Amino acid sequence: MLNKKVQDALNQQLNAELYSSYEYLSMSAFFDEQNLDGMAKWMKVQSREEYEHAMKFYDYILQANGKVELNTIKEPTKSFKTPLDVFEETYQHEKNVTKMIYKLFDVALAEKDHATNIFLHWFITEQVEEEATALKIVDKLKMLADTKSGLYLIDRELGQRASR
Ligand code: FEO
């Protein structure tokens, strides 16, 4: 049985992952509006991946005989300026998520909840990948997005992300 502190922290992260999913869907809409189909697809895949992260928390809480509590999801960002701004925001967002996961890990450690501790290892590793991927796209956009052909190339590359 989960203790209350750990359960609350897990539910909070479940909510944060759903917010991530919502935020990336909003970014996808921004790209769709501009016919940047590749970036829009990349964001939709990312949004689905975040939903899967949320479901990992959902399943774990139930498996650990806890109670899932679904709360209000914060409104996503509705206006963006440029593709570079969007991916810079993505990078910042992922860095914040890493901090949240670390805090959650600290709660599990303090409460001596070893099972939750181990469950969170996957997320800690995942965040390294999430940050690195976003930063790589930011760097490419800085290199190439000044020209329309550069933006076209990056859009095409990001559109190759495998669907989930
Ligand atoms: Fe669920 Fe992008 O971290």
CATH numbers and ranges of domains, the chain: 4-158 (1.20.1260.10)
146 pLDDT band, cuts 50/70/90, is confident
How many angstroms separate the Cα of 156 from the Cα of each of 35, 51, 95, 161? 12, 25, 26, 10
Ligand 1 atom nearest 17 alpha carbon: 1
**Whole-number percent of the chain with pLDDT over 90:** 94
147 pLDDT band, cuts 50/70/90, is confident
pTM for the predicted model, two decimal places: 0.95
Angle value at C-alpha 47, between 131 and 151, nearest 5 degrees: 70
17 Cβ closer than 6 Å to some ligand 1 atom = yes
90 Cβ closer than 6 Å to some ligand 1 atom = no
Tell me: the pLDDT tens digits for 29-76?
Answer: 999 999 999 999 999 999 999 999 999 999 999 999 999 999 999 999
Tokens for 110, please give them: 């303090």
User: How much is the pLDDT for 34?
Assistant: 94
Tokens for 68, please give them: 């899932």
Return d(Cα 108, Cα 60) in angstroms, integer: 14
